[in-house]
Structures are given as structure tokens and as C-alpha cells.
Structure 1
């Protein structure tokens, strides 16, 4: 192999995006870029000089890794794509900023696990030229900026296809890009084309940006344009997986393919067989709704096209409680053949929330999981592979039952490495220092009000006393973003920043700005305890605690989402929930309860370290088999996709 062939091989590997969950491939690309992987490898390969490539050619270890990875690509079986996974965002890597939070991270993990399992799945999303915002703290409050990017810069390739989506008085054109997430293809639609008006070119400018019309047009593009993109590339899709209602308008594209021969009612029954719907929120405010006055012209395009009554299309999404609102979740439940929530508790809550709406009474659950090879630190992975065997990342019970072979010293060494890395990240980011003897408590998530980032401030005196205890030191590390339009969420974030910067925090409560995948990895690896304080039962699942658990962090959480079904009394701590209906009374009680639990954790951590390490081992044994995306996607394959494929035949 010469330098030209090596560049070609590295380009293929960069575009495969397997490096996002392969430490070995990340090391290969980082070796060409000064030892750190702070940008997309496609840029690294493009900038690599011939001399740098010649050096790599002479490095036996690097060449063996490259050759092995290319053999893996060449040996992958070509799969006929029959399942399409729709999401408005995908979190694949920190250098691919096409996600805002949990939904996108979950979607990225789903695609990686589908690749690992060789599932016949393709995905559809949008390409955002400005992605989601980068966060900074200015004068104590969140500020946002939107760096521009091109599709090529994030590893997408132009398919050569352009699709058209009917909208009032015009068609919107969208280029179809393709990204490969391992062996899973992801199609991304982009309206920044000369054929569109200036306004339409901005439909895909930002994720979750703009007004309600902008959101509506993005969702029409995702749904209708997504189906047409799948047709353009020629995949025989039979099953369509809607994640939340964002892609619900794909129903219109599917009806459009059959209505001429069958009529609306028959067309709906025909497409229903292959439609599956996942709800990701138990919070009514989290469901997309559009005013009748806004959505009517967009529905009229289709009612006139098909010569059907507009009222019949309205009924697909008519909100069961709010007159004059078109409810995207209701549309999904009325048109799909199967539906699920994302944890056991969320399934129960969703059946009540959507009772009588389509198949709302039949909503099941598949609990979210996380892609282990993406989120577990390299050091932990190496030890797990050696001691547990490679099956740990797939959720193998047999593998995780071997954790007793990890001595106290081995577990302590892994925790120490993670703590050092987190401490260095915090110091680099904000200049704060973490006492190496401190119990580190991590809290990182979207600053939505129901997640209650400021809950502990209800017991400020107790919190300050805890932060001033030199005998049993503790350090809180907080991170997260508020949606730019979420004024109450931004106010909570400002309170956290204010306290972190105050003398009362004693330098032991730190907020790290610009939360993203890279900061998250450090926090999962280095936090001893992962704190979660949502208002029960408003957390659909949550996955940050699962990532922390795989890295050896112990969960301290309200019994909500995934934790409600997986806590066994010993694999972490449950914060007692209050039955009070008054939010102020409830929050006061749960703040006190949280500090009570933290007091007990501090005592165990500092006074009974052997017991604390034993608890980590028990958490790995009991949670490891349950929290992986491999388990999650296998459940979707067996319980959702398989039956839907059978119905759609």
C-alpha cells in the first residue's frame, strides 16, 4: 500500500463513522492530527500531508489497524433495507453537531446497534447547516451561537437525488445526502438549493429553531421528503418507525402512493400494517401541536390533490382535548399498527395519557438503552474485554456475571483514572479544581423545568454545610443546555451558574458550559454518583444514568424512567418521592430526601469504601445486561419490527 492507497482507505474509514465507537480507529486518525480527535476524520485525511501518510505507512500497529478495519468493511454483508427509522436528530459524534439532546443521542445509538446486529434498517433525518447551538455563559446567563457547516464536513456524501415536497403554492426541493453509521445508512434532506426561495432554503438551517411555521415545514420535509428519498435510492421499505410525531407526515406520502387506486379509508388501512410509533415523552407540553389556522393550508394541498374532504385529513391529528389543535402524536397513534413507550413506567403513563386515541390503549414499552462501545471509556472497555469477554457490550448476562473477577484494586484503579480525566476536563474548561478525595456527583441534562436542576437549592443551608465538610468532601459537577426559547429553563440554568460562582459553593459546585458528547463522556467516566431529580413520572426513560452505570458510576435518582424498573435496592440509591400535590411542598420534601440520601452515600464512600466498591460491582452485574442499546434494538427487532414486517407482507 502506498500513500495514495492509504489516503483512500482512510477516507473510506472516515466515512463509515465506525470510529465513533472504535477506540482503535480514533487512535489512527488522532495520530495524523497531533494526537487528539477534535474534528471529523474526513478533514484530517484531507489535510494529511504525504509525509504524514508515509510515517503512518511505516507504523506497523497503525497499518494493522487500518487493514483490519478495511477487511471488516469489505466483509460486511450487503443487506436489503426493509425498515426505515425516522428522527429529526441524530447524535453520532461530538464533531457531527446534528442533535440537541436525548432523542438525538438515542437515535444515534439505535443506528450503531442496528449496524452491530446487521439489522436491515435505514434512517432518515434532516441536515442542518447550523446544527444546534453552541453554548457560552455571558454575564451569568446562557448565550447561543450557531457555527455554519457543510454536509461534506460532517462526512455526508451527495446521493445525486433531489426530491420535491408539496407545500402551499409551491414545491420545496431537497437534496438527499447519505451518511453511513457503520453498515447503517442515514439519509439527510437539505433544502439549501438554488431551486428554492430564500425562505425555503432556510427550512433546514437549524435544529429546533424558528417559529411554528418553520417547525411545521421541517416536519413535512422529514416525513414526506423522507419517504420520497427512500424511494429515490431504491430501498424496498416495508416498515416505517416514527420516533415521536416529528415524522408523522410520512403518512401523507404513503397515502399518496396508494390512494388513487384504493381511496382514503382503504389506503389508511393498507399503510397501517407497516407503521410503528414510539412516544418519547409523558409530558403533554412535549407533544407537537399545530394551530388549525397554521396547518390548514398545508393539509389543503393534499385534500385537493386527492379530492377528499379536508375534515377527513384533520381528523387524523385532531387533538382529543384541545379544540383547534392538530396533534402529531395522536396522528401517529391513529395511523400506526403498534406503539410503545420507552420504559415500563412510561408505557403505563402513556396508556393513560392517550387512552381512546387510536391504539393508545395498547401502547407497550421497550426501555431505552445506550451503545456501550460509544459511551464506556477506553480504559474500562479494555479491562471488560479482558476480564468479562467481548459479550459485555451486547448485554451478555454470562459476561456481566464475571464482574467478581474484578478486584477492589482493579475497580479502584478504573475509578481513579476516570476521576483524573474528569478533573482535568473541569480544570481546562473553567479553572476549577476537584479534591481527589471528594465524592464527585454528576448532573448533566437538558435544563427543562421538570428535571429540577435547582432542587437542592430548596435546602440551601444543608447543601452549603455539605460543601464545607472537609472530613467528607463532595464536589458537584453540573452541565447542560436550555432550549433557546425555554425562558424558565434558562432561568434555572442561570441560578445554577450563579451558585457555582458564589462563595457559598466553596469551590465545590461547578457548572461546565457547552455540554455535548465529549464533556458527557468525561462526566460519565469520572462521576462517582449520577444524580437525577425529575418530577415523577415525567421522565420517559432517561439514558444518562445508564451511561454512568456502565462506567462504574452509581445512580441516585427519583424512581422514574428506566430507574423505576431496574433499581433493586442495592445497585444505587432511590430518592423517595413525595405524594404532595402542591409543587412547592413536593419539591421541599424531595430536596430534603435527596440530601438525606446524599448524606448516606457520603458516609459509605468515605467510611466504608469496600462496601461502595461492592455496590459498583453489583450495579454492573445487574444493570449491564439491561441498559445496552444491543438489548434495546434486539427488543425492537423481535417485538416491533418483526411482527410489522409480517403484517406488511
Structure 2
């Protein structure tokens, strides 16, 4: 296949004819392609699947991570072990495209690999690698580990995605109408485009941006002198960068630069749109921020037999299928932990990226209360935890390990490793309750609960991210009512949420599941119906064309 003058290799729907190049640090399109860490990748993966289903004129640009994010293994005592295994992807095609980019005033060779749409039913995807014999070892390591902990390597990765991705597009002869940055990691592309178009207005005309971070501290900032030394700004002087990007101190704020170079940006839920507009309002020269709520791909995630039983109003088949899904997932629990879970028992799952604000161990904040819940013989429960902490986030790793040690005291508590796409789907099928308790308003969107719903789980959540748009309490899920969080300390907020969450579990959820199962089943079905119509990624991919690309 010739990759020069590249065109999307299927007929395009006229509604989506505008040419778009979509940049993302991570894509989770299918379990075998392990180049993702968490929600950002899951979201990008569903977006690429919907772009394919809707026949949109869009290509994805990412990085081929030689060791992925990391592989989650166990130490001798079952605690978390971070391992790095080389990944081999025989289904990717070598494009024979090779070019150089400047990193640290030093030419680095970049090679591009291609994922054909028919392989995993996605838009065409291109992945960049520096792991080439032409490069010195340090340059080779740029594409080794997703979100490398070394600051200079991380900046080099941002240059690879942004400048490398923009140069690849030039090599392909694709000439997109729009460059869409999914998060600010690829904003170095703007400096490449500035050299190409010779005008900030022209760059603005071609750039749109999706922000996923609802708090200022979470947005990446790096020393502007280090970025300059690393050739991040494609030849611009520091003074020019300050002027263009509104930098007043010595920190280059990637998101702020993206908001100044883009013509339009979006937050990833209605709430996040409000939070973002308020957060960035004190800066000058930023683009408007709309909101397009995240969504997940029904075709990839949903259990179709469960939906069929629901649509046919066949309650026996519905219950039988859900039990089977639970039983199958419990084989993984037994294999990893030696614990035999019962498909007839209400199962709570907390599974996602481990990060402080997501409060993984929230249920265990007061052990008396936890023991009462876990040892309840009238309303028995089982709990599964899973997720990947960042490999150098020691507080989160410690949280994970504490849960492992805690789980050894109970037959009905398990902590699993290997939380990637495959296990994620199984745990959603295992789950009766998908527990989500981030500290409001720190979750920009959060999408794991959407795919949980698509597999017959009920969301029990704090009122953050996409949840305010979805949960109708008691009808399709359960939500902790918002308090006046702004005037609370973190400790007060945690205490309030904890008490409310336990109250909902003990007095509403458990009695409903065990004493009124017909009503419980209806809550499950309501969630399945509502999520399919509001939070399916074809809706989202369509809105990107309608609202962001127009």
C-alpha cells in the first residue's frame, strides 16, 4: 500500500467530509494493542471505533509504546509489582515512512506504523516510533514507556506526538482541515504549524482542542527554558513563546497554550464545561470552551445477549445471562486470588485508574462500618478492586497494596491485577454495583460507569463528571446528593460523602436487591436503556463534527 497522498480507505459519509487528524497520547482500541493507561485511552479508542462506524473522514495519530504503560504483576506477598515487557504487534503495518524531527537540537529518526481500519474496526491509525537502530539509545527510549517519569523524556514524547505527528501528516500528504488535540500533550504541533503557515490566525483556523482536566494543578506545566532547550518551540525564541502563549512566569503551561492556539475547545461533560470556563476565565486570549460529553462504543462494550433479553422482556433469560456473566468473571477472581465468589450475591466493583482524588479505598475509611457491611449475613456482599496506579505514584501504589493486605482477611474481598480492556469488560459484567466515588468536582467525565451500565451494572456514584447528566436517583442508578463542597474542607467533604454513600448502600441498594429483585432488575434495565441513547460514542463522534469541527 502506498502511503503518500493518503486517503481514508473507505467511502466517506457526506456529513463527515471535513478532514480531521486526531492526536492522542494513548488509544485503547482492543486488548492486544497495549498502548494506553486509562480513561483518556478508553475514550480515544471508542471515538476511533465510532469514526469508523459513521464513516468519518478522520485519522488518528499516536505513539507506538514499546513497553506500553507497564504490566501489572505481583510480588511474592501479592502486592503490586511493576514490570516492563516488550510488546510485539504483528498486525501493524510498516509504512516505510521515515523522517527526522529535532529534539534537543539533535535530529531524531521517526518511523510510522499503520493500523488498518478492518483490523479492529477503527478509523485509520498511525503510530510513531523512535525505537530505531539509526537513533542513539536515549533517542530510542522516547517511545519506550507511556508517560515516562523522566521530565526530559516526557517533553521529548510530547514533541514526538505534536511535531512528529504534524510532520507525518505532511509526509502522508493528508492536509487535514483540522488538527484535533485530545488533551494538550500534542500542542507542540502548533509551533510546527506556525512555521508552516507563517501566521497565528492560520494555525488557529486549523486547530481544535479537547481538555480533560478539571483543575489547574492537573494541567501539565514544564520549565520554559528546558522546553526551549529541548527544541519544543520549533525555533521560536522564549520571548515570542511568552507573548504567544500568555506565559508570565517560567513555566510553560501546555493547556493554556492549546487554549490560545485553538479556535475552539471543549470540556468532556456539561459540568466540566462550566468548571473549565470558570477555571480559565482569568487568562487572556483563550478560545471559547463548549462541552461535548464523553461516551463509549456500544458495539465494542455492550453485552448484546443481555440487551436482547431486555428488549424481548424475557426476565428469565435476562437474569440467567447476568448470572452467567458474573460466574465467568468470577473464574478470573478465583484464578488470581483463590477465592470462590457466588453469582447470587450482590457484587460491588471499584475498578479504574488509581489516583488520589478517585478515593479507591473509600469504603474502608472507617473499619467498623466496613466490617459491618462486609459481614452482613442478611444482605451479603462481595467486593472486587482493580486498577493500575501510575508506576511511580507511591501513595496510590501504597493504597493498592493496603487493599491487597486487607483482602487477605476476608473470603468475599478480592484485589485483581491486569486491569486493561479485557479485564475491564469482565469486571463490568461481574458487577451489580459499579462504585464510583471521586471527590467532586475533580472528575472531568469518567466513562467506566457507562460501559458498566452496558453490561447490566448499576452506578452508585458521587455527583461528578457525566453522572449529573445521567443518574435519576432510584430510577437508573444511585447518587450521593451534592453538598456545599466549596465551603467544606477535604476532610469534611470526605466525611459527608462517606456517610451518605453508606446510607445509600445499607438502606436503599441492599434491601432493593435482596427484597425487591423485580424492582432492582428494572433499575438495571433503565440504566441500560438510558446509557445507550445518551452516552454512546456515535452520538459523541457526531457532535464533534457538528459542534467542534464546524
Q: Distance in 1 between matches of 2:102 and 2:343?
A: 60
- 1:425 is matched with which residue: 320, 332, 344? 332
C-alpha deviations, 1:466-507, integer Å up to 9, x for none?
1111221100111001101212211211221121112xxx31
- 2:147 is matched with which residue: 205, 208, 228? 208
Q: Distance in 1 between matches of 2:274 and 2:179?
A: 24
Give the drift of 1:299. 4.8
What corresponds to 1:397 in structure 2?
Answer: none
Matched, 1:110 2:47: yes
Give the drift of 1:523. 0.9
What corresponds to 1:608 in structure 2?
Answer: 516
C-alpha deviations, 1:262-304, integer Å up to 9, x for none?
xxxxx1101101210000111333211111231122358733x
Matched, 1:185 2:124: yes
Q: Distance in 2 between matches of 1:81 and 1:429?
A: 48
TM-score (normalizing by structure 2): 0.93
Give the drift of 1:550. 1.2
- 1:291 is matched with which residue: 208, 220, 223? 223
Q: Distance in 2 between matches of 1:579 and 1:179?
A: 48
Equivalent runs, 1:462-611 vs 2, <5 Å: 462-502=369-409, 506-569=410-473, 570-579=475-484, 581-599=488-506, 600-611=508-519
Higher helix share: 1
What corresponds to 1:47 in structure 2?
Answer: none
What corresponds to 2:4 in structure 1?
Answer: none
C-alpha deviations, 1:349-368, integer Å up to 9, x for none?
11111114356572111000
Q: Distance in 1 between matches of 2:57 and 2:287?
A: 29
Contact preservation (8 Å) 2:263, 2:287: no
Contact preservation (8 Å) 1:84, 1:239: yes
Return 198-207 or 287-296, whichever deviates more.
287-296
- 2:206 is matched with which residue: 267, 274, 277? 274
Contact preservation (8 Å) 1:459, 1:588: no
- 1:130 is matched with which residue: 67, 70, 81? 67
- 1:375 is matched with which residue: 283, 296, 301? 301
Q: Specify the SS of the correspondent of 1:100.
A: coil
Give the drift of 1:404. 6.0
Contact preservation (8 Å) 1:459, 1:592: no
Return 541-550 or 350-359, whichever deviates more.
350-359
Contact preservation (8 Å) 2:50, 2:122: no
Matched, 1:141 2:48: no
- After superposition, the Cα gap between the structure-2 partners of 1:583 and 1:192, relative to the gap in structure 1 and judged at 3 Å, is same
Matched, 1:636 2:540: no
Unaligned runs of 5+ in 2: 2-7
Contact preservation (8 Å) 1:89, 1:99: yes
What corresponds to 2:5 in structure 1?
Answer: none
What corresponds to 1:342 in structure 2?
Answer: 268
Give the drift of 1:348. 0.6
Contact preservation (8 Å) 2:29, 2:122: no
Q: Distance in 1 between matches of 2:396 and 2:243?
A: 34
TM-score (normalizing by structure 1): 0.79
C-alpha deviations, 1:527-562, integer Å up to 9, x for none?
111000000000010111000111111100001001
Q: Specify the SS of the correspondent of 1:561.
A: coil
- 1:88 is matched with which residue: 8, 25, 30? 25
Q: Specify the SS of the correspondent of 2:230.
A: helix
The RMSD of aligned alpha carbons is 2.1
- After superposition, the Cα gap between the structure-2 partners of 1:579 and 1:196, relative to the gap in structure 1 and judged at 3 Å, is same
Q: Distance in 1 between matches of 2:496 and 2:18?
A: 51
What corresponds to 1:230 in structure 2?
Answer: 169
Give the drift of 1:133. 0.7
C-alpha deviations, 1:309-365, integer Å up to 9, x for none?
431123344556xx2110000010000001000000011111111114356572111
Q: Distance in 1 between matches of 2:12 and 2:319?
A: 44
- 2:314 is matched with which residue: 390, 402, 407? 407
Q: Distance in 1 between matches of 2:459 and 2:232?
A: 50
- 2:11 is matched with which residue: 77, 80, 94? 77
Q: Distance in 2 between matches of 1:561 and 1:108?
A: 19
Give the drift of 1:207. 0.7
Matched, 1:312 2:248: no
Return 434-443 or 211-220, whichever deviates more.
434-443
What corresponds to 2:353 in structure 1?
Answer: 446
What corresponds to 1:241 in structure 2?
Answer: 180
Matched, 1:623 2:528: no
